[in-house]
Amino acid sequence: MGLYSISAKLNNGKDVSLDEFKGKVLLVVNTASACGFTPQYEGLEELYQKYNTQGFEVLAFPCNQFGSQEQGSDEEIKSFCDLRFKATFPLFSKVEVNGKNAHPLFNFLKHEKPGLLGTEKIKWNFTKFLIDRQGNVIERFAPSTKPLDMISEIEKLL
């Protein structure tokens, strides 16, 4: 199964095929509103504003699997992102990224780009996957990697 055969539900409830993002550079992130890394939303928005016109998208997937740091409803999460960070990039419905109920997108990403020592499990919120215009998973970034620290890798793909 390839990236573009996967669908996901946007925060507003609309199903979207990732095929709609074909030909774009993607940064897929599992996010949370009450995490120490939550301020990274600001950097994600900055990247989105800077590179979106060049074919770059940030796809944010809220997840409550790490320390119960994303307990809100989809509406509450959207409101938080809008008010606190003025986030304009696509925000999806809350998903699981590990375990038997993991979203197919994250199963694909983890398989294509395992973490340290080959582990596929996502360890925490704000793990980031950089995908090229052909749908290849190029890099996996740790939660501690700040969005603006990825500029050179993003620019290489644009």
Q: Which residues are catalytic?
A: 35
Range of the domain at 95: 3-157
Number of compact structural domains in the chain: 1
- The confidence band for 133, taking pLDDT boundaries of 50, 70 and 90, is very high
Q: CATH number of the domain at 90, please.
A: 3.40.30.10
Q: Supply the pLDDT for residue 1.
A: 65
Q: 44, 143 in Cβ contact below 8 A?
A: no
Q: Supply the pLDDT for residue 101.
A: 97
Q: 127, 59 in Cβ contact below 8 A?
A: no
What is the overall mean pLDDT for the chain? 95
Mean pLDDT along residues 41-55 = 97
Mean pLDDT along residues 89-103 = 96
Who has greater pLDDT, 117 or 18? 18
